[in-house]
Amino acid sequence: MSLEQEWAGLTPRDAIALQRKTATAVITEDQLPVVRTVAGVDVGFENKHTARAAVVVLDAATLEPVDHALARLPVSFPYVPGLLSFRECPVVLRALASLKVTPDLLLCDGQGIAHPRRLGVASHLGVLTGLPSIGVAKSRLVGTHDPVPDRRGAWVPLRDGDEVIGAVLRTRQGVKPLFISPGHRLSLATALEWVMACVTRYRLPETTRWADGLASNRGQRWLDRLK
């Protein structure tokens, strides 16, 4: 049974209950293999009915693309803040299944454990696939933080009460920070190391840039670069 079939008919209340149950399986300690490939994961919406997922696998040393996949599926879950993984995970799994190169690490455009129920899309995908994953979000969903120093690589903890749920990371001087959190099978420190390892001269890591380009309306231009 596919995930979209398994989740058919879920109400938001059902989804919240499933999130809480699934969150208990999230691992926030380092359980990574030797990381030779990293993948960017992003989902765009062609219209209100169709989701488009992009996964681009990069060589971890050179950040050059080695594989990619696109998938489309009808959207079967309503837009509810905090429940986006129920809209995005089915189509991402479809794209991951099309890859020839299985990535060692996923960098997802979205939250990891920096989520009210500690199960953003990166954590949810990590549990569903068993792959180590990192949440790389452009905005904050939950938590508070101090100002981030304006220098490359500077970060401050993102806290929800007394719990550190992520980090607010300045990837480049003079740009807005990113919100980084463990997704699954790695620690916050390791998540920060890998995000910075994937950053070149842009605010976003190369994984996110490639996946976002393919998942968006600019997809054809990025596809042409992969040919």
- Binding-site members are 42, 109
Distance CA 111, CA 124 (A): 10
Hey, what are 106's tokens? 């996923």
Indicate the SS3 state at residue 86.
helix
Residues making up the binding site for Mg(2+): 42, 109
List the alpha helices (DSSP H) in the chain. 3-6, 12-23, 85-97, 121-129, 188-197, 206-215, 219-226
CA dist., res. 190 & res. 38, Å (int)? 14
Name 154's Cβ contacts closer than 8 Å, sequence gap at least 6. Answer: 148, 169, 170
Instruction: At 227, list the tokens.
Output: 């040919």
For β-strands 65-74 and 50-59, DSSP reports them as antiparallel
Distance of CA 44 to the CA centre of its chain: 13
